[in-house]
Amino acid sequence: MKKEKWMIVFYLMISLICLGFYFLLSGLVMLIFAGIALFGAFVQFLRYRIAKQAYVKKS
């Protein structure tokens, strides 16, 4: 579960960096990358939530 938390933070940091480059350089590609990173953060959050529920049920 600790790995999922770090991956959520990682994806959110990547999305913030991409959004920063988007506003600095006005590149549409960075906006697309930020969207992909936010989607990755959402997927990792779902994986974390499922793993947490499974851990609670196991205990």
> pTM value?
0.60
Percentage above 70 pLDDT, the chain: 92
- Quick: pLDDT tens for 30-39: 778 788 888 8
The label of the residue with tokens 């991409």 reads 18
Cα 6 from Cα 25, distance rounded (Å): 28
Round to whole Å and give the CA distance between 17 and 24: 11
Domain count, the chain: 1
Class of residue 57 by CB neighbours under 10 A (exposed 0-12, middle 13-18, buried 19+)? exposed
Helices (H) and strands (E) in the chain, counts: 2, 0
Residue range of the domain that includes 48: 2-58
CA dihedral of 7, 33, 17, 10, whole degrees rounded to 10: 0
